[in-house]
Amino acid sequence: MRNPKAGLLVSLLAIALLLGGCGGRPAPGQPVSLTDVYRQMEEQVGLPLMLEVTPELALDFYGIDTARCAQWVLRLAQDSLTADEVLLIEARDAAAAEEIHGYLQGRMEAKAAEAITYSPEQYAIIRRGHLLRDGLYLALIVSPDAEALLKVYRGQVPG
């Protein structure tokens, strides 16, 4: 005998999965170029003048060894008094993703701690920022337009 409650649950689960899939996130395993993702962020949302973080600086400043990344796009606002920062990384493996996630977490916390006394406005922007991890893909997005940037990211990066 069929349980009507179980049937309802299955139906709700199916609807939820269907709706989740409607967000437009590419399926896992699909290739993605983080350089293209960043370019789309620039084109669709716009970013202030940003500085490229070199591999040497990535290591010194964040602790991120780019040798452990399959690809990366690391950008900081050229105006150091604004909090804008976009870090997009695909780690080489799960262990690297775990380590890099820790560094990004630390970076986000440090940004907030540094801004809290000197700029409530920048602090609020940082608090609305995003720290993401989808498998080997990691991102730190801090911007007044963080939600719009996130939408671009989720439209391109497998989740």
Residues binding another protein (CB under 8 A): 51-52, 57, 59-64, 76, 78-81, 102-103, 106, 110, 113-118
Instruction: Give Cβ neighbours of residue 20 (< 8 Å, ≥ 6 apart).
Output: none
Taking the least distance from each CB to another protein, the nearer of 91 and 157 is 91
**Residue labelled with tokens 């940003």:** 50
The CB density around residue 94, as the number of other CB atoms within 10 Å, is 10
**Residue labelled with tokens 């669709």:** 44
Residue 147: half-sphere exposure toward Cβ, Cα within 13 Å: 1
* Residue 24: closest CA among 152, 113, 136, 146: 152
Taking the least distance from each CB to another protein, the nearer of 65 and 155 is 65
Shortest spacing between CB 42 and another protein, in angstroms: 16
Shortest spacing between CB 30 and another protein, in angstroms: 30
Structure tokens at 136: 């080997």
Shortest spacing between CB 118 and another protein, in angstroms: 5
Taking the least distance from each CB to another protein, the nearer of 123 and 137 is 123
Shortest spacing between CB 106 and another protein, in angstroms: 6
